[in-house]
């Protein structure tokens, strides 16, 4: 079912791309759009991981340069019965993480230094388990491809007048311009939103099962949403479609156009999962406050995991 849903969603985005091309440039525009969409699908399939990692300026780390973080990911991958993914760190104050790659054998996971600085070990483990659940569910390819095609649709809309230059200058041309500038990007956003929201709930459940710590993941989501609201992603500012890749929205705010479910709803689901798993130990329910500050004082447990920060010098 996941493969069928993926195929249908990619077909919908490709059809949308063709429809926009037809609206702007007639049958010739539709054929150009089809060729471009096919080329993008093939290119993105083979290069999804390098596209995203280069976009974020990620640097690869290993057991020598970042032993605790890489060791944590290795342990989770073993528990998830997955090949060890490549591990990357992004030098950014924006706190977030994502996974990419066309399949589990070519997967990569990345976290920002901002995330590693504000979460404790259990929370980091919950976040990386969530990302490995995306890998196990084979979400990473479709999320990257969808973000790429959605961005291309917006780009094509911006060049609407160029593609429509040969058409009659009448009311139809005005309508084509309106559709290109407003309707097509909106439709691409809706399709992208439908993909991401469904898969985030699945990755939350998978991450809870892999780590065995659903409440730690819930706590991490609350902290990340709060901090991301204060420190938006610089990548999302220039490429909004990239927000679909992250564990929390790149702006830290949920809206009707968000690529993620509301953070408080995800936390509630994780609390229910904890009850299902029989984890009845008391744990504070994290409140999501969009603009709350991260406390200056670090919890005592944070000292045990400071080596997870790749900027730390031994």
Catalytically annotated residues: 131
Q: Are 247 and 97 in contact (CB under 8 A)?
A: yes
Q: Are 19 and 160 in contact (CB under 8 A)?
A: no
In whole angstroms, give the CA distance from residue 100 to residue 98: 7
Query: What is residue 41's DSSP assignment?
Result: H
In whole angstroms, give the CA distance from residue 292 to residue 186: 31
The shares of helix, strand and coil residues in the chain, as percent rounded to the nearest 5, are 65, 5, 30
Closest CA to 250 of 145, 114, 159, 119: 114
Query: What are the two backbone dihedrals, phi and then psi, of residue 7, each rounded to the nearest 5 degrees?
Result: -60, -40
Within 10 A of 38 (CB to CB), how many other CB atoms are there? 12
Q: What separation, in Å, do the N-terminal and C-terminal C-alpha atoms of the chain show?
A: 48
Residue 53 in tokens? 């990692």
In whole angstroms, give the CA distance from residue 58 to residue 61: 10
The binding site for Zn(2+) consists of 130, 134, 200
Dihedral sign for Cα 169, 171, 174, 175, please: negative
């Amino acid at each position: 079912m996941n493969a069928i849903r993926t195929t249908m969603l990619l077909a919908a985005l490709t059809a949308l791309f063709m429809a926009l091309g037809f609206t702007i440039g007639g049958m010739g525009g539709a054929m150009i759009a089809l060729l471009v969409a096919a080329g993008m699908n093939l290119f993105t399939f083979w290069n999804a991981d390098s596209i995203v990692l280069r976009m974020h300026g990620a640097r690869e780390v290993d057991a020598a340069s970042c032993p605790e973080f890489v060791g944590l990911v290795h342990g989770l991958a073993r528990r998830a019965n997955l090949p060890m993914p490549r591990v990357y760190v992004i030098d950014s104050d924006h706190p977030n993480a994502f996974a990419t790659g066309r399949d589990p054998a070519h997967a990569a996971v990345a976290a920002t230094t901002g995330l590693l600085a504000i979460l404790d070990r259990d929370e980091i483990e919950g976040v990386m388990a969530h990302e490995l659940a995306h890998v196990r569910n084979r979400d990473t390819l479709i999320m990257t491809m969808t973000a790429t095609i959605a961005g291309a649709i917006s780009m094509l809309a911006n060049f609407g007048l160029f593609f429509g230059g040969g058409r009659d200058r009448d009311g139809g041309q005005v309508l084509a311009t309106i559709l290109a500038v407003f309707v097509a990007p909106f439709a691409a956003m809706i399709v992208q939103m439908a993909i991401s929201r469904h898969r985030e709930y699945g990755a939350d459940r998978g991450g809870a099962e892999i780590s065995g710590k659903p409440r730690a993941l819930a706590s991490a989501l609350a902290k990340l949403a709060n901090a991301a609201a204060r420190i938006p992603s610089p990548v999302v500012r220039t490429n909004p479609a990239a927000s679909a890749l992250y564990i929390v929205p790149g702006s830290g705010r949920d809206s009707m156009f968000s690529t993620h479910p509301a953070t408080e709803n995800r936390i509630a689901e994780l609390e229910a999962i904890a009850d299902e798993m029989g984890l009845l130990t008391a744990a504070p329910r994290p409140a999501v406050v969009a603009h709350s500050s991260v406390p200056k004082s670090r919890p005592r447990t944070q000292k045990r995991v400071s080596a997870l920060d790749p900027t730390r010098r031994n």
